[in-house]
């Protein structure tokens, strides 16, 4: 297929590589020169901005940081949209903003899906991301060849906006897991517990969760964890904070109580203020350690 990719960040660049490796012709655009050069080096084609990408592509995938960037990209691409074109937004953004993008893209005769991602940079590199898709089922059928190369699981969760709602639910749970994991780790450290033994027990007990398995925040316990790799981001603190802001705002609109999320958001804010915003969000453990006097 003729595919387009806009947004070659830590997630987007490996996703685009999987599309090239699957045999698709991939035309790319991004704000930074370095990722474009990297994409061209593995076989992608460069063009001039979002309109050029959409014009060259049957399916165009967006992977940008937040709602304003999605709107900005689509503003730039509107003249190139029409029948025979599909846009898939894999960003995590406000569900109501996403519903508005569905409406205006579909009004051109093009198809539109949202497909926010879970799996982080490791999942993007491995091609095992989970996609939560909102939009029309027949549009997903048509776009699936453009998604399969970087997906481990694709689930159609409903109409416009529903993919974003499910993604925000996922990240609410993940953020709460991480704070609890950090608290438990610091408490164990202060008590003199062997953290390798803590990890072994937790991964075979009722405390087991993804945050424990991948992000126990103590250097050397998990070789691949951010804590063992200078807090290199699989998912940045600032991005998790952004997602919690989206979830808290959406919950307020719908009258849904969020109790733990406000606390986690404060700790993430403290982590950003301390200079950890571009580190992995498990760096919130450094704030917890600071509160413990460590």
Identify whether the C-beta of residue 227 lies closer than 8 Å to the C-beta of residue 221. Answer: yes
167 included as an active-site residue: yes
pLDDT digits (tens, 9 = 90+) for 233-246: 999 999 999 999 99
Tokens for 70, please give them.
Answer: 């999605």
How much of the chain exceeds pLDDT 90, in percent?
Answer: 98
- Note the maximum CA span of the chain: 64
Length of the chain in terms of residues written: 294
Q: What is the pLDDT of residue 112?
A: 98
pLDDT digits (tens, 9 = 90+) for 91-134: 999 999 999 999 999 999 999 999 999 999 999 999 999 999 99
CA atoms within 13 A of residue 215's CA, in its CB half-sphere: 31
> What is the Cα–Cα distance from 113 to 136, expressed in whole angstroms?
7
> What is the Cα–Cα distance from 213 to 203, expressed in whole angstroms?
7
DSSP state, residue 120: H
Q: What is the pLDDT of residue 219?
A: 97
Q: Which residues pair with 2 in a beta bridge?
A: 25
> What is the Cα–Cα distance from 154 to 147, expressed in whole angstroms?
8
As a whole number of Å, the end-to-end CA separation of the chain is 54
Rounded to 5 degrees, φ, ψ at 285 are -60, -30
Identify whether the C-beta of residue 189 lies closer than 8 Å to the C-beta of residue 294. Answer: yes
pLDDT at 294 over 90: no
Identify whether the C-beta of residue 284 lies closer than 8 Å to the C-beta of residue 179. Answer: yes
**Given its phi and psi angles, is residue 256 left (phi above 0), alpha (psi -120 to 50 degrees) or beta?**
beta
pLDDT digits (tens, 9 = 90+) for 60-98: 999 999 999 999 999 999 999 999 999 999 999 999 999
DSSP state, residue 275: I
pLDDT digits (tens, 9 = 90+) for 9-41: 999 999 999 999 999 999 999 998 999 999 999
Q: What is the pLDDT of residue 155?
A: 98
pLDDT category, 55, cuts 50, 70, 90?
very high
Q: What domains can be seen in the chain, in order of their start residue?
A: 2-158 (3.40.50.720), 165-291 (1.10.1040.10)
Q: What is the pLDDT of residue 23?
A: 98
> What is the Cα–Cα distance from 74 to 100, expressed in whole angstroms?
11
pLDDT digits (tens, 9 = 90+) for 175-234: 999 999 999 999 999 999 999 999 999 999 999 999 999 999 999 999 999 999 999 999
Catalytic residue of the set 167, 242, 286, 294: 167
Mean pLDDT of the chain: 97
Q: What is the pLDDT of residue 234?
A: 92
């Amino acid at each position: 297929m003729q595919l387009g990719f806009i947004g070659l960040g830590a997630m987007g660049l490996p996703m685009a590589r999987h599309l090239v490796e699957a045999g698709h012709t991939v035309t790319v655009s991004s704000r930074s020169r370095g990722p474009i050069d990297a994409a061209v080096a593995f076989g992608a084609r460069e063009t001039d901005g979002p309109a050029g990408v959409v014009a060259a592509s049957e399916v165009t995938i967006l992977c940008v940081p937040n709602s304003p960037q999605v709107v900005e990209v689509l503003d730039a691409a509107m003249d190139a949209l029409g029948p025979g074109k599909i846009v898939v937004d894999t960003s995590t953004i406000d569900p109501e903003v996403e519903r508005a993008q569905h409406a205006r893209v579909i009004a051109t005769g093009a198809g539109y899906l949202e497909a926010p991602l879970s799996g982080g940079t490791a999942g993007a590199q491995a091609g095992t991301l989970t996609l939560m898709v909102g939009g029309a089922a027949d549009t997903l059928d048509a776009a699936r060849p453009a998604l399969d190369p970087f997906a481990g699981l694709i689930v159609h969760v409903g109409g416009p906006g529903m993919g974003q709602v499910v993604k925000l639910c996922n990240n609410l749970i993940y953020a709460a897991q991480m704070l609890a994991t950090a608290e438990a780790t610091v408490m164990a450290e202060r008590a003199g517990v062997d953290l390798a033994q803590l990890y072994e027990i937790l991964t075979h007990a009722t405390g087991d969760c993804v945050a424990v398995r991948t992000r126990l925040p103590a250097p050397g316990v998990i070789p691949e964890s951010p804590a063992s790799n200078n807090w290199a981001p699989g998912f940045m603190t600032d991005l998790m904070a952004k997602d919690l802001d989206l979830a808290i705002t959406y919950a307020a609109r719908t009258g849904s109580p969020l109790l733990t999320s406000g606390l986690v958001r404060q700790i993430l804010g403290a982590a950003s203020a301390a200079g950890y915003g571009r580190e992995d969000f498990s760096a919130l453990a450094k704030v917890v350690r600071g509160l413990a006097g460590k």
